[in-house]
Structure 1
Amino acid sequence: MGFCMESARIMLIIFNFIFWLSGVALLGVGIWFLVDPNIAHYLEVVNFDLEGNALKYSAYILIAFGAFIFLVGFTGCCGAIRKSKCLIGFYLMFLVIVFAGELAAGIIVAIFRSEIEDKVDKSLMKSLKTEYKFANESSITNSWDIIQKELKCCGAEGYKDYENSLYTNTTMNKIPLSCCIMENDQPKDATQCQMAVDNYYHAKGCKGGLIDWVKSHSVILIGIGCGLAGLQIIGFIFAVCLCRSFNMEEK
């Protein structure tokens, strides 16, 4: 029984070292989602006029639980080293909380991912029609310009999305420069492009690329949230085994 207890203690300490590293990973991914300017531009366009921002909320959850994991890991290590049933009990409770939080973050993003195509149409069209202005006049304009340049697209479904928009009603142009085909970082022909002449602008819409971007980035959050939640089951097993060893030793 002494060998079993020592084995459980050592395994729990090793697990908590890995657990701490997972906390660093959660913090890093969560902070990356919040501070990366490119991600911010994509999220602003995708989530314009939507009630929720699942990716951003999930990033906040990951950051919170990433920081909380340091406390949980410390509690587990102290409980294993001091052979404290009380600390191990708190450790088990904290593991359940972290498990539930990470799983919740993964589920929130998974639900949002499955509904993104239905929800994003109205959001994209409204932001183009009512909020897109001259370059650098608003944050949504800058975000659209960056996305159209990076994805080599124009509008949501295509360039005609700009018809009867705030932008076209205040200019003589049909589309903005960010829709243009570039040569050496400059429009191939700005005048022809902004008049929507074929072969001078990107004909495809941005909707497909934006949806693909959301789905690919949501996989990261889902994978980390659910993957680490599964990892914690191992720690839970080690902690339960150690508690049982304590009980057997007391007998």
Structure 2
Amino acid sequence: MAVGIWTLIEKSDYLSLLASSAFAVSAYILILAGGLVMVTGFLGCCAVIQEQRSCLSTYFSCLLLIFLIELVAGVLAYVYYQRLSEELKQHLHQTMTGNYAQLDRDSITQAVDRLQQEFKCCGSNSSSDWMQSVYVNSSEADGRVVPDSCCKTPTPLCGRRDHPSNIYRVEGGCITKLEQYLADHLLIIGAVGIGVACLQLAGAILTSCFIYLLYKEEEELFSDV
């Protein structure tokens, strides 16, 4: 649950740069599963204390449900991890050059500015990508050849000068930086999802054993009567 919340809060800026919602969906699934774990944990304690087979059966069903949910989150993260590179190559360039500083695209503009400053990069593949952008080729750019967020020391209109001493010029551009960043977090989401799923499966197996023991005890009591 904590991993899902952390992903959505800390990494939410970059979600607007992705064409697929799989990254966010994986995080939401982890949050849902985490909430179910908390509720199910309370139910499990009550069921064990009271030794009621009906409650334990409900608890067993909940554990299996959580197992499936966590497994889906882990598999989804892994599948998206495999497709991440291709998606960024296809969509990031168009997103940055076509939507930056455009009307009703504030979330993308902020995400691009943060991306370039945080990862010290400029453009999807290189700083020259900005020459094809709607923003740079408009009067709004006011002579800028790159956004001010490309500058090593951002100041108003610093984007007018694209000399290497002024702007970030990183081999591979922002794509390689963002890809590595998201890939690392997808691996965390996948590992947590599958890891917790295995724990829930182990809990379900132990619960089924406990239910069986209670059943045998009840059977022996009735046979004695």
Task: Quickly name the TM-score band, shorter chain normalised.
Answer: 0.7 to 0.9
| Alignment pair present for 1:133 and 2:101 | yes
**Among 10, 15, 22, the residue aligned to 1:43:** 15
- Could you tell me whether the CA contact under 8 Å between 2:144 and 2:157 is conserved in 1? no
Q: Which runs of 5+ in 1 are unaligned?
A: 1-25
Letter matched to residue 3 of structure 2: V
**Among 88, 94, 98, the residue aligned to 2:62:** 94
Partner of 1:33: 7
For the residue of structure 1 that corresponds to 2:202, the secondary structure is: helix
For the residue of structure 2 that corresponds to 1:163, the secondary structure is: helix
Offset at residue 175 of structure 1 (A): 0.8
Offset at residue 190 of structure 1 (A): 5.8
Question: What is the number of residues matched between the two proteins?
Answer: 213
* Percent sequence identity over aligned pairs: 30
Taking the aligned partners of 1:31 and 1:43, their CA distance within structure 2 comes to 14
- Cα deviations across residues 105-159 of structure 1 (Å, max 9, x unaligned)? 111111001100001122211112211128x972211111111011000001001
Partner of 2:131: 163
Partner of 2:39: 71
| Alignment pair present for 1:179 and 2:145 | no
- Cα deviations across residues 28-69 of structure 1 (Å, max 9, x unaligned)? 222222233xx1222222x1xx2x311211121112121112
Cα distance change, pair 198–73 in 1 and its aligned pair in 2 (3 A): closer
Partner of 2:223: none
Taking the aligned partners of 1:234 and 1:128, their CA distance within structure 2 comes to 46
Structure-1-length-normalised TM-score: 0.79
Partner of 2:164: 198
Q: Which runs of 5+ in 2 are unaligned?
A: 221-225
Give the aligned CA root-mean-square deviation in angstroms.
2.0
Partner of 2:23: 55
**Among 55, 77, 81, the residue aligned to 1:109:** 77
- Could you tell me whether the CA contact under 8 Å between 1:113 and 1:215 is conserved in 2? yes
Taking the aligned partners of 1:180 and 1:247, their CA distance within structure 2 comes to 71
**Among 179, 183, 191, the residue aligned to 1:223:** 191
Structure-2-length-normalised TM-score: 0.87
